[in-house]
Structure 1
Amino acid sequence: MRLVIVSNRLPITVVEKAGKLTFQRGAGGLVSGLSGYLDYLRSSSSTKEYIWVGWPGIAVADEMREELKSRALSEFQAYPVFIPEKSMEEFYHGFCNKIIWPLFHYFPSYAAYDESYWRRYKSVNETFRDAIMKIIKPDDVVWIHDYHLMLLPKLIRERMPDVPIGFFLHTPFPSYEIFRLLPGKWRREILMGLLGADFIGFHTQDYSQYFLRCVLRILGYEHDMGKIIGEGHIVRVDTLPMGIDFNKFHNAVNSPEVQRERYNLKKTLADSKVIFSVDRLDYTKGVINRIRGYEIFLEKNPQWHKKVTFILVLAPSRIGMEHYQRTKKQIDGLVGEINGRFSSIDWTPLLYQYGFLPFYPLIARYSISDVALITPLRDGMNLVAKEYIATRAEQTGVLILSEMVGASKELGEAIIINPNSREEIAKAIQEALEMPKEEQIRRNTIMQKRLKCYDVIQWAEDFISGVFSVREEQKKFNARLLSTHVKGQLVRDFGKADRRLLFLDYDGTLVPFAGHPEMAGPDEEVLNLLDRLSKYPQIDVVLTSGRDKGTLQRWFGMLNIDYIAEHGAWIKEKGEDWKLTGALATDWKPHLLPILKMYADRVPGSFVEEKEFSIGWHYRRSNPESGSLQARELTDELINFTANIDVQVLQGSKVVEVRNASVNKGVAAMHFISRGSFDFILAIGDDSTDEDLFKMLPGTAYSIRVGMTSSHARFNLRNYVEVRKLIEELIK
């Protein structure tokens, strides 16, 4: 097995100087996090190989591309995706950072909805797809990372239907109210792009639920415990908080490089307590509130003057972008203001460093700090918080952590604050500095144990296991699909039979569902298929439907076929009148109709359909989320109300129906089966009412359930399109 990791950037940055290529290690949480897992793969007996696909960091001249490919592959197991500078500008600085980044971090006023950015986002995702197609192998597993490549899973799925694909989002996924701010076409294509994956991972349960809610509200797909069934494809959504390489950070504290750095820092800081923050320069990181919170702490706690030092390190990020430059200017001014106000000859309250901090100096600062102050306004996970805890060799130190970051769900022993409240930040700083050592050790011991157990290796292994688990489930379903071999046998059996009987459901089987039942009338293709099928020698075609007999007569009365209406209440044979299948009561309807009408009034877009022997509450045009919730509530209420009445409550596709308990398609079908000796029987249907029919068929009959679900039918087809193709093959 080979793991194909795909991200916007490679784990290396390529630099071109005087016509020569050099390589630098990439920065960022994704690279540092995944590198720990890849180191594990290289050093262990694992059978997994890997290759990392991404942009090399620069636009590369055509004549240097082959050299870069060769060296990247041999030296770093990497494969570059070449993207022109202008395309990268509109893709990365445009769509990704001017639209997705602010929206997903709850800064909607910063988003710039530019159609050209969207077009570029699509074209770059297609470029990644094309690059992957050149290197992918049949037994590869593709693992796509982050918001830059949300269209890529579907693009690969269209070319390689059987390749296992996983997608992990490292940022927050926003609530529906934020996500819906994207133009309708964009948000639908993004969700469909993500659903091309087999397995989709998020850092927190909140992000997973927000995604599932968006899929329901925008695409109409419901889920069962995180499992979404699309058209012939199973997708599982799960929560997997990313870990760190715990041992790497924990053991680094004792390295000579860190000890030397610690010695120099201690000499500079003397006996001062140290508060430490390290972040990328980004408006989402809450740095301004962090500094203001420290300022309030100094105002209210003069006893701590000259006894505490705040070290703030900010790494450059997205240089040149307006909001980032404005943020940096504000921070620079604040640092000067606070130092000018509080400092003395022998004390600088805030030490500010703007630049990248290498690994060993970072570990040294973690390890000497009494307090880590981490206060993003929004953050997908924030691995800095975990890294700080991992470096606490003596279990001392206090973590102050924003409740708006994913890590807060795992590190509950930290001092959790609201990053929008400067007063809370100031109070937390005081609490952290005054916390007894025993309490520090108690909290950090718990957090270290947790982080050590669920490190980046466990996280990655769980994710890959999740991908394979879904693929196994998909295989089991595919085994039930009507294969080419079985279809060929079915067609041959149909052709050589002396007497044929076909039961065909209508809605969802021959036609797609519509917002209103009256909008789902038969198109010319369906009428033509049924007409040609009914003229086949020695054949009886029975249209089985939950619709009323008047609608079936109006739509199909010109055809020479038989009917089952209202799920089996009525039957009609060719050339005869409609007949009831038994003595059916309707005295229960006046008692139940008011309940259904109450729900129709309560849920906009829903309505009640009354037939002679059944009633139904339809909610296909309602808000999918509230409609599903109200459907469950209505079903429970009806079941309780009808406990002593001889009726049955059914949940169909966006409908809750009540009918006589003795009525079903299976009983009605037996009337037609008993009319003669049929040596070929085929039944096709798409919902629970068709299960009654499937159960009544003889063992030699062919039965097909439309859709991806378990069934008493022998086989499945994905959708109504495949049903029409099958009928066409029978006729030919």
Structure 2
Amino acid sequence: MEPGLRRLVVVSNRLPAALKKEGDCWKVKAGAGGLVTALAPVLKNRGGVWIGWSGASDPTLDVDGLLSNFSSEAGYDLFTVPLTREEVDGYYFGFSNEIIWPLFHDLQTRCRFAPEYWRMYLEVNFKFAEVVARKTSPDDYVWIHDYHLMHQAFFLKSMGVKRSTGFFLHIPFPPPDIFMKLPWRWKLIQALTEFDLVGFQTLQDRKNFAECLRRLVPEVRFEGRGAVISVKIGSRKFRLGAFPISIDFNQFNSMAENPEVAQKAFRIREALRHRKIILGVDRLDYTKGIPERIRSFHTLLSRYPELAGRVNFVQIAVPSREEVDEYKELRTEIEQLVGRVNGEFSFPGWVPVHYHYKSFPHDELVAYYAAADIGLVTPLRDGMNLVAKEYCASNTSEDGVLILSEFAGAAAQLQKDAYLVNPYDMEGIAKAMNRALHWDKAERREHMVGLRDQVRKNNIYWWVDSFLQAGIAKSLDDFPEVESLEYEPG
């Protein structure tokens, strides 16, 4: 490999493979979610490294041994950060998910500002930084991901470890009025200024961060225009940028065109008697607006009784944080709402809402995307929301409609051709669904072609390139595939 920058190192809370206990055995499961989908193809066979927690808290477990086969097949090295049950509870379930997650999603009434969470967050961030220091070299580019690890550059510098560092926040960054409620606001902002590049999903998120920085550090100066700007605080200089994350368009498009997947999509439509299909796909989380969406569908059937028997709402909810009481309560609320709609409107031969609380294989999910007439993506707040882009990429017939929350990061890119709605406005969403169901074919096609073009051009590789160009003036091509790392599955 060329001298100079040698490897791309990704650091995130979770590794792209998780350890799950099944009976007495530990099994390695490929991770899910936007980050894994985005970065696994980028690191594959390029000498890449991924550092994170394995998902297990058993100190006697041979984690590296269990992950070695996955690492060989994935085509990049995995290094684990061992965490105890207590550390996971305080840093992950506590600080990350009971403070930062609700606060940054404008739901501050759900925050629990416990000082012990903050202390554990710092301890675990230091633990991650120690592994990063040991497993990387000064030539590597260390790309830190998301709100769990905002102190990485701060701790690396405190150890005297010099690394080129970039940080990308996958969730929204709140405006000052919300961010200033955080008791540790100054320390968190200060830690983020230690990165060489801080990336956000949208220009609005970047603007919110800049306003918080200005509020806390009045002497700060901003230079430049466009997606990436420079920041000066005394002699310290770093960069801020907006880099909307995306998906591998070709992967979803090709899968939707696969004859077996196309057949599955046909069978879904046939099972629903070729009625119009409105589809919601989400991880089960209170930010996703699933209860509001079901109430909106209830409003649709109440306001437009002529739609009875002619439309189905399919909601796929992927299980998440099942051990947390709030998520158990959310699941119960959703199930009760589904029961209410079906109890009120069903008749022999038609059940209006089909609710699936489970994970779907990738090909089956794409079949649902391809079968759906409307993709209903209405989070209360979301950093980006890749489901919106996955739906468009899978809509090879080009006659679907995307109804999208104006509070999803994806709205900034897709607003021209998506039907934007306020996720709190149940009557407005019902009106949007009714209107979309009556759009003529030419109108649907015009907008879906525009959406697909946007996702195709600004795909996952464009996202990685734009971040690396801003961070180190390098592109993905500067991390060439390493033939010796190629793995042939047995």
The answer (yes or no) to whether the contact 2:54–2:63 under 8 Å persists in 1 is no
State the SS of the aligned residue for 1:294.
Answer: helix
Does residue 7 of structure 2 align to residue 2 of structure 1? yes
**Aligned pair partner of 2:471 in 448, 467, 472:** 467
CA distance in 2, matches of 1:189, 1:268: 55
Residue ranges of structure 1 left out of the alignment (5+ in a row) = 43-47, 471-732
Listed one character per residue, the Cα deviations across residues 282-335 of structure 1 (whole Å, up to 9, x for unaligned) are 111111111111111101111111010000110111113232222211111110
The alpha-carbon deviation at position 259 of structure 1 amounts to 2.7
The answer (yes or no) to whether the contact 1:72–1:80 under 8 Å persists in 2 is no
> Closer, same or farther in 2 for the Cα pair 1:72/1:160, shift >3 Å?
farther
The answer (yes or no) to whether the contact 1:151–1:189 under 8 Å persists in 2 is no
**Aligned pair partner of 1:386 in 372, 386, 389:** 389
2:37 match: 32
Listed one character per residue, the Cα deviations across residues 570-629 of structure 1 (whole Å, up to 9, x for unaligned) are xxxxxxxxxxxxxxxxxxxxxxxxxxxxxxxxxxxxxxxxxxxxxxxxxxxxxxxxxxxx
CA distance in 2, matches of 1:160, 1:461: 29
Listed one character per residue, the Cα deviations across residues 94-152 of structure 1 (whole Å, up to 9, x for unaligned) are 11110000100011111001000000000010010011111111210000000000111
CA distance in 2, matches of 1:390, 1:434: 22
The alpha-carbon deviation at position 5 of structure 1 amounts to 0.1
1:279 match: 282
CA distance in 2, matches of 1:265, 1:289: 25
2:223 match: 224
State the SS of the aligned residue for 2:414.
Answer: coil
- % identical equivalent positions: 36
Instruction: Quote the RMSD (CA, aligned, Å).
Output: 1.7
The residue type paired with residue 136 of structure 1 is T
Does residue 447 of structure 2 align to residue 448 of structure 1? no
1:630 match: none
1:270 match: 273
> Closer, same or farther in 2 for the Cα pair 1:234/1:71, shift >3 Å?
farther
Does residue 141 of structure 2 align to residue 141 of structure 1? yes
The alpha-carbon deviation at position 69 of structure 1 amounts to 6.4
The answer (yes or no) to whether the contact 2:59–2:84 under 8 Å persists in 1 is no
The alpha-carbon deviation at position 21 of structure 1 amounts to 4.2
CA distance in 1, matches of 2:468, 2:346: 52
> Closer, same or farther in 2 for the Cα pair 1:157/1:230, shift >3 Å?
farther
> Closer, same or farther in 2 for the Cα pair 1:310/1:18, shift >3 Å?
closer
2:128 match: 128
> Closer, same or farther in 2 for the Cα pair 1:394/1:233, shift >3 Å?
same
The residue type paired with residue 253 of structure 2 is H
CA distance in 2, matches of 1:24, 1:257: 24
**TM-score of the aligned structures, taking structure 1 as reference length:** 0.61
CA distance in 2, matches of 1:327, 1:439: 37
Listed one character per residue, the Cα deviations across residues 515-538 of structure 1 (whole Å, up to 9, x for unaligned) are xxxxxxxxxxxxxxxxxxxxxxxx
The residue type paired with residue 163 of structure 2 is V
1:245 match: 248
State the SS of the aligned residue for 2:62.
Answer: helix
Does residue 379 of structure 2 align to residue 376 of structure 1? yes
The alpha-carbon deviation at position 233 of structure 1 amounts to 3.2
CA distance in 2, matches of 1:395, 1:197: 42
Does residue 292 of structure 2 align to residue 294 of structure 1? no
Does residue 423 of structure 2 align to residue 419 of structure 1? yes
The alpha-carbon deviation at position 218 of structure 1 amounts to 1.2
The alpha-carbon deviation at position 68 of structure 1 amounts to 4.2
**Aligned pair partner of 1:457 in 441, 461, 472:** 461
> Closer, same or farther in 2 for the Cα pair 1:235/1:107, shift >3 Å?
same
The alpha-carbon deviation at position 203 of structure 1 amounts to 0.7
CA distance in 1, matches of 2:72, 2:400: 43
Larger radius of gyration: 1
Give the 5 Å matches for 1:86-97.
86-97=86-97
**TM-score of the aligned structures, taking structure 2 as reference length:** 0.91
CA distance in 2, matches of 1:340, 1:358: 30
CA distance in 2, matches of 1:274, 1:151: 45
CA distance in 1, matches of 2:106, 2:450: 32
Does residue 325 of structure 2 align to residue 322 of structure 1? yes
The answer (yes or no) to whether the contact 1:157–1:197 under 8 Å persists in 2 is no
1:206 match: 204
Listed one character per residue, the Cα deviations across residues 657-682 of structure 1 (whole Å, up to 9, x for unaligned) are xxxxxxxxxxxxxxxxxxxxxxxxxx
The alpha-carbon deviation at position 31 of structure 1 amounts to 1.2
Give the 5 Å matches for 1:77-88.
77-88=77-88
- Where relative contact order (Cα < 8 A, 6+ residues apart) is larger, the structure is 2
CA distance in 1, matches of 2:341, 2:367: 25
CA distance in 1, matches of 2:222, 2:453: 34
Does residue 155 of structure 2 align to residue 150 of structure 1? no
The residue type paired with residue 175 of structure 2 is S
Does residue 399 of structure 2 align to residue 396 of structure 1? yes
> Closer, same or farther in 2 for the Cα pair 1:138/1:20, shift >3 Å?
farther
State the SS of the aligned residue for 1:410.
Answer: helix
The alignment of Structure 1 onto Structure 2 pairs a total of residues equal to 461
State the SS of the aligned residue for 1:253.
Answer: helix
CA distance in 1, matches of 2:47, 2:61: 29
The residue type paired with residue 457 of structure 2 is C
Listed one character per residue, the Cα deviations across residues 169-218 of structure 1 (whole Å, up to 9, x for unaligned) are 000000001000011xx111111211111111111111001101111111
The alpha-carbon deviation at position 261 of structure 1 amounts to 1.9
The alpha-carbon deviation at position 29 of structure 1 amounts to 1.4
The alpha-carbon deviation at position 280 of structure 1 amounts to 1.0
Does residue 9 of structure 2 align to residue 15 of structure 1? no
CA distance in 2, matches of 1:6, 1:440: 41
State the SS of the aligned residue for 1:200.
Answer: strand
The residue type paired with residue 145 of structure 2 is H
CA distance in 1, matches of 2:64, 2:252: 37
CA distance in 2, matches of 1:151, 1:219: 18
1:410 match: 413
State the SS of the aligned residue for 1:170.
Answer: coil
State the SS of the aligned residue for 1:465.
Answer: helix
The alpha-carbon deviation at position 16 of structure 1 amounts to 4.4
The answer (yes or no) to whether the contact 2:7–2:140 under 8 Å persists in 1 is yes
The answer (yes or no) to whether the contact 2:401–2:418 under 8 Å persists in 1 is yes
The residue type paired with residue 7 of structure 2 is R
State the SS of the aligned residue for 2:89.
Answer: helix
CA distance in 2, matches of 1:346, 1:156: 62
1:171 match: 171
Listed one character per residue, the Cα deviations across residues 248-288 of structure 1 (whole Å, up to 9, x for unaligned) are 00110122441342233123111211000010111111111
State the SS of the aligned residue for 1:353.
Answer: strand
> Closer, same or farther in 2 for the Cα pair 1:113/1:310, shift >3 Å?
same
State the SS of the aligned residue for 1:314.
Answer: strand
> Closer, same or farther in 2 for the Cα pair 1:466/1:447, shift >3 Å?
same
